[in-house]
Amino acid sequence: MTSRRRQAPDEPLRVPTTRVRHEHGKTSIAQTAARLIAEGLAEHHDAARKAAQQLGVGKHALLPNQIEVDQALHEHHALYSTAEQPRALAALREAAIRAMQWLRPFSPWISGPVLTGSANEFSAIELDLVGVEAKTFEMFLINDDVVFESHGGATTGTGIAQALVRYDITFDDAPVEITLFDSQSQRLSTFPKSSYRYDRAQLDEALARFSLK
C-alpha cells in the first residue's frame, strides 16, 4: 500500500498551479474591466466579458463577478484618478438625493456605483421602484414635464410591471436610470449578491452614507 506523503509543518503550502493561474487571470480581467469602466468604454454588467475579449483569454476563462470588478474599480480610482472622480461622485450623490426626494411618493432605492462610491463622470444614477404601476409612473413624469425614454417591460391590465421597465431621464444635469420591479423578490433575483447593484439604500440611509443633510 502506497503511503501519502505528509507536508512538513514548516513547509510552505503548495497551491495547485491551475488555481494560481485562474486567480491571476481573474485579477487581470478585473483590473482591465475596471480600466474600461473608468474610461467610459464599458458598463459594470458587461465589463468583465469585454476585458476578457481584450486580453484574448479563452471563452471558458473564469471571470470575476461584478462585486470583484467594482472593488478593482475602487483600486483603479485610488491609483490613477485625479480630483475629478471625487468631484464627479459628490455631484452625482447630491443629484441622487434630490432625485430621491422628488420620487419620495414611490419610496425609491438607490444602488450601483453612486452608492458604492466607484462612480465617475461616465456613471448614471441608478434608482429602483418596487410595486409601482408603470402607467402611474409615466403620468407622474408627464405631469412634471419630464422627458424620458422607456426600455423593455410588459404590463398587465392593472399596469403593474411584469418585466423590467427602465426609464432614462436627466435630473439636475445628471443621467438617471429608474427601474421598475413588480416585487422585492424580482429585484433580488435580478441583482443577486454577486451583482454590483445588490447593495441598496433608501433616502435616509443614503443621506447618512453620503454624509449629507
What pTM was estimated for this model as a whole? 0.79
**From its phi and psi, is residue 173 left (phi > 0), alpha (psi between -120 and 50) or beta?**
left
Q: Are 78 and 86 in contact (CB under 8 A)?
A: no
- Which tens digit of pLDDT belongs to each residue from 136-152? 999 999 999 999 999 87
Q: Which range is least confidently modeled, 28-32, 105-109, 170-174, 186-190?
A: 186-190
Q: How far apart are CA 85 and CA 79, in angstroms?
A: 12
Exposed/middle/buried for residue 28 (C-beta within 10 Å: 0-12, 13-18, 19+) = middle
For residue range 85-123, what is the model confidence (pLDDT) as tens digits?
Answer: 999 999 999 999 999 999 999 999 999 999 999 999 999
Dihedral over Cα of 65, 59, 36, 46: its sign: negative
